[in-house]
Every structure is written in structure tokens, then in C-alpha cells.
Amino acid sequence: MTRHNSYTDLLIIGAGPAGLMAACWASQYAMTTRLIDQKSERTKAGHADGINSRTMEILDSFGVADVVMRQAVGNMDASYWGLDENTGHIRRIKCQPSQPQELSRFDQMLLNQGAIEQILIDYLHSKGRVHVERGRKAEDLELPDGSDQNGDDAFPVHVRVISANGEDGQSDNAEVIHARYVIACDGAQSWTSAQLNVDSDVWKTESTWGVMDIVPDTDFPDIRRACAIQSGDGGSMMVVPRENNLVRFYLQMNGGEGRSPNGPDKSEGSLEDLIDMAERALRPYKLAYKHCDWWSLYPIGRRLIKQYHVDRIFFAGDAAHTHSPKGGQGMNISMQDSYNLVWKIAAVITGSVDPAILETYQSERRPEAEQLMEFDTRLVYAYEEGSMEDGSEDGVEAVRDKYAGFMAGVAVTYSPSILVSNCESNTAVTRNIQLGKRLPSYLVVGQEDGCVVHLAQKLDSNGCWRLLIFSGDLHSPGIRDRLSRFAKEFSGRLNSQLGLQSTKISQVLETFLIHSSPRSSFDKSELLGLFHHFGTELGWDHAKTFADDPSYHGDTGQAYQQYGIDKQRGGLIVCRPDQHVGWTGDLEDVEGLEKYFSRFLIRRERA
């Protein structure tokens, strides 16, 4: 048997959506990353299909949201159907937007998991730093003796990897990967979790559902809307329009206790059985199909691991939690797990932050998974037992309305921690901004080019923290002087207190100025003189200067109002690399800002 050793900063096990998102994040950093998967190819059909608004925002931060939108179907309308007791047939009860439009600049999209995986794979290929190593199977795992992250062994986690197609332990490609950190994204049947005997909270499986992706031949009028349907002998069903004229059907199966979660069992059901059930649920409408892309049977099982990491091994996605697909949250929560985690690990590996920030992965993501379990339980009950009638407190519509922000992914709010400061922050300055929540986006006007853009479009996922400086109206008395004093004092504090020299500041922190003056009231020479402290010490870039100017077409001139910032007072907002707000304060609160960063930035002593 041939064996060799290799070393990497980060090893990701599993190249599904969670693993690929982790790799996309890791590709932004000057570190080595390996991504292995035992499958020979990506997901081809079926599986997850919903992309919520927050996931679209995240994909946009990597520059691939437009690729998704070109392939996906927008989920604009939701239709509710119930049983008409007089006719015994279904009738439409209500049709409404699938989610409130003000939640995000992106709507929910519908696209199969395999297409999402390919988009992320293509992104990794364009970056050229990380690629998927197919047919590589993790076989053995060895942890360091202790949990001291500053131990002598810089690569303390050892994972033995072999060819997935070779004989056990005899592959010429066997290697031991020595890693600083490992992220397990290896699915519901997680090998990594089994090796570590990770405990989980488990909810009893209550029912089994069937799923099929077909090109339907039907006269059902809402076939291209997302539908919740409760009929008589046809049971409950969910209809979801998909790309390429496909439509997904979720159907409640009877007597489903104990069915295999690993795919369809032809002895227990068939595609024709699912078609027959769907047609009965749709009566008086007809249903046949021209093509079936994928189908499966599965029990609803809820599982949530108690600890999101063991030593230097972290769990994300289905390796951490499983649930039903009813709310379209599986792929979204999975990708958002790794999006929350990887920038933290990367910042620790590259030596810029204290490893203590890694504890926030558990404190931030497990409460979201707990809410997912609660939401999933209520939604499944609503499909199986609730009413579709208006005013029903246990119906599908009521549950979806209550959890609208959660379903869109924009209600996620991380609790106070080393990264979310409720001590040094002055939330009265930014009245409509909630600490720990992702920064909502509003239109601003580029000072240099006059382009109207969403502010969030400038917050790319590149690993930088963002300091958003809302100066107010630069024509107001005293504001220019306050801004200049802030720039000089803040850059000095970064240098003296944190040891960040001016040439390094812009590698950790990007600064943006959003003023409330008319854009045309300044010329470039005035701005160069006004912001000379920014230019020399904060790496100032005039492309990062914006006006909240109402004189442009569209909803411009509303950012200060929407964020709750007084134009005469101004304010500061710090966004983490994942766009969640970590700190807010007065324009001149340099001390509070310095205290916030000193909690986790590692001080660099001068040579």
C-alpha cells in the first residue's frame, strides 16, 4: 500500500451546496484549501430547488446571482387551494405574492440543486485556487490529543483519504491530509459525524412524502404558480414551478412510518402511483406527464446536532441538521451555515483575528437551526392537518406569513458576542438598524460616476470588514471638520492601539462614505482636499464615495431615512465580512469603534 502525507490549511469534506459555498469563501483568502467528495460527479437531478432572498444576496456578493436568474424561475405568486365540500373537488381560495416585496431586493428563485452546484463549481474554476477532487473518500480520522488551538502541531487534524473506487485501504492514491481545520459538509449520513459520535436531538418521523419532477400535461390553471393544495382522498400536495417547463410535486403518502430515506423503493411505490395520487388531488382537473426528470420517496426526519464543532472539526448543512423540504430551506440554511463559518476560520488561519471568534459559529447558527425545526414542524402539520380557509391559525398561509422573514433568510439576527457588540454600540444613531442582522440595502448614487446602485452591491465577499461612514450633509456647518478629525484620529488609533500600519489597514477594512449632499454640489478637487486624511491613512478610494441624492430617477435619496440616520448628526456602521452589522455609533465615536475591533483583531507589534 502506498501512502503519502499532504498539508492544507482547510479541508472541506463534501462538495454539495454547503461545501461548495465554503470553498467559494475560502478562495478569497491567501491560504490552502482542499475540497474532496467521494461521488464521481455533481448532483444531476432532483433534490433541493428553492433559493431564498438572502441566499440570492450572498450569491450576488460573489458575482453569480445574474447567472442564477438567467436559469431560474422566479417564485412570484403563491396560490392556496382547498376542498369544496359541495362538489368534492378543489377550489382556489386565495392567490397572493409569495413573500413581501420589501424584504429584499431579490425575490425567491427556483432552480435545481445540480444547477446551483455547477454555478459554484464554475466560480471556483474562474478563481483557480480551489477545485473539487472527485472520487476521494475519507476513511480514517485522527484528532489532536488536546483542544489547544495553539499547540505544537500546526496541522493537528489528520484525515486518511483513499480512492472511492479502489479496494479498501489498497489504493495507490491513499494519502493522509494534515489540516489546520476541517469542515464536514458530507450530508445527512455524515461520515465525519459518525466517526466522532456526535450527539443529536432527534424528532420522531411522523409521515412520508413523495416527490417528482415532471413536465406536466394538465388543465390545472395554477400549474406555474407555487401552490399549497388540500383535497379529499388525494391528501395534501405542494406544487412548485421549475426551470425547463418542469414542475415539482410534493405529495403526502399514507402509512409512511419507516420508509427508506435513501431513495425510492419500487416495492413500496412507483412514479405511476405518485401521478395517480396527484391527479386525484387535482380533481376536477386532469394530469398526465410528458417527461419525468426525477422522483423519490422519503420520510420526514428532524435531527439537529448538539455541538456544531468538535475541536477543529466543524459541521455544516445536512451534516448538522435534517428536516423536511416543505419550506424550501435545506439548501439555503446549508449554504448560509458555511457562509457564516468560513470567513471566521480563514481570518484565524491568516492570523488577523483571535481564534475565540470561532465559538460564535455555534452561538449564531444553532439558534437558526432550532427555529428551522420549529418552522418545519408547524408547516408540515399545516399541510397535513391545517385548513386553507381564510383566518385559519393552523393553515399553510398562516404559518408562511408568520415565518416570512425567516423563509426569505433576511430575519436572521445574531445575538451579542465578541463579533456583535451591544456594549460599545450606540443604536440611537442608526434607529432602524438592528445589531447582528444583515445590513438592508438601499439605492445610493456613485459620487464619481453617477451610477445608481444598491449599497449592498459594493459589499462583495472578499474577506474585508466594512466601515460605512454616514457623514450627513457636507454643506452643514461643522460636518467637514468632524469628518476630517474622525479620519485622522481613527487611523491613528488603528496604528497605535491595534498595530495596524496604514499600508495594511485597507487589507482588513474597507471604508465607504455616504453623504447626504447633492452629488453635483462638489467637484473632484474639493473632495480630494476634504478627504486627504482618508487618502493617506485609510486607503481612500473615490469609487467608494456615494451620495444619498433624491434628484435621480427611482428610489434614491432614501438611505438615511431608511437606516434611521439624522442628516445633521451622521453615524457609523461596521459590517462584518458577511454583511451582518457588528457595531454602530456616532460619527466621532472613535473610542467605541477602536474598542470593538480590539476585542478580536490581533495586535501586531511594530518591528
Q: What is the DSSP string of 132-148?
A: EEETEEEEEEE--SS--
The cell numbers describing 243, all together, are: 426551470
Its CATH architecture, for the domain 4-200+302-408, is 3-Layer(bba) Sandwich (3.50)
Closest C-alpha to 305, from 261, 337, 342, 346 = 337
Q: Looking at residue 397, what is its pLDDT?
A: 85
| Pairing state between β 443-446 and 452-454 | antiparallel
What is the SS3 assignment for 528?
A: helix
Residue with cell 385548513: 387
Residue with cell 439537529: 304
The answer to whether the beta carbons of residues 450 and 581 sit under 8 Å apart is: no
Kindly state the percentage of the chain with pLDDT values over 90. Answer: 65
| CA 404 remoteness from chain centre | 16
In DSSP notation, 366-406 reads HHHHHHHHHHHHHHHHHHHH---STT-TTSHHHHHHHTHHH
Residue with cell 456647518: 477
At a CB cut-off of 8 Å and minimum separation 6, what does 79 contact?
92, 94, 95, 222, 225, 226, 227, 228
At a CB cut-off of 8 Å and minimum separation 6, what does 391 contact?
none
Q: Looking at residue 89, what is its pLDDT?
A: 93
Q: What is the DSSP letter of 228?
A: E
How many alpha carbons lie under 13 Å from residue 578 in its C-beta half-sphere?
A: 32
Which fold would CATH assign to domain 424-598? Glutaredoxin (3.40.30)
* Class level of CATH domain 202-300: alpha beta
Q: Which helix (H) or strand (E) holds 345?
A: helix 330-349
Domain segments of the chain: what residues? 4-200+302-408, 202-300, 424-598
The cell numbers describing 535, all together, are: 487618502
Q: Looking at residue 252, what is its pLDDT?
A: 80
What is the SS3 assignment for 108?
A: coil
Q: Is the dihedral of CA 453, 458, 459, 461 positive or negative?
A: positive
**Burial class of residue 233 in the structure, from the number of CB atoms within 10 Å of its CB (0-12 exposed, 13-18 middle, 19+ buried):** exposed
**Burial class of residue 124 in the structure, from the number of CB atoms within 10 Å of its CB (0-12 exposed, 13-18 middle, 19+ buried):** buried
Rg (CA), the chain: 26
In DSSP notation, 452-492 reads EEEGGGG--SSS-EEEEEEEE-TTSTTHHHHHHHHHHHHHH
The cell numbers describing 455, all together, are: 449599497
Q: Looking at residue 164, what is its pLDDT?
A: 86
Cα(1)–Cα(140) distance, integer angstroms? 15
| Pairing state between β 226-230 and 313-315 | unpaired
Residue with cell 383535497: 231
Write out pLDDT tens, residues 57-85.
Answer: 999 999 999 999 999 998 778 899 999 98
Closest C-alpha to 457, from 104, 87, 162 = 104
Q: What is the DSSP letter of 27?
A: T
In DSSP notation, 281-311 reads HHTTS-EEEEEEEEEEEEE--EEEES-SEET
The cell numbers describing 598, all together, are: 480590539
Q: Could you tell me the mean pLDDT of each successive run of 10 residues in the chain, 607 residues long?
A: 86 98 97 97 89 97 97 89 91 89 91 96 97 96 67 85 72 84 96 95 78 97 93 83 94 54 52 94 95 89 94 97 86 97 97 95 97 91 74 79 93 97 83 96 94 96 95 89 85 64 65 92 66 54 88 92 95 97 94 92 62
Cα(370)–Cα(364) distance, integer angstroms? 11
CB neighbours of residue 221 within 10 Å: 10
Cα(274)–Cα(295) distance, integer angstroms? 9
The pTM of this model reads 0.92
Q: Looking at residue 428, what is its pLDDT?
A: 86
Q: Looking at residue 604, what is its pLDDT?
A: 59
Q: Looking at residue 227, what is its pLDDT?
A: 93
Residue with cell 491613528: 492
Cα(21)–Cα(124) distance, integer angstroms? 10
Q: Looking at residue 432, what is its pLDDT?
A: 95
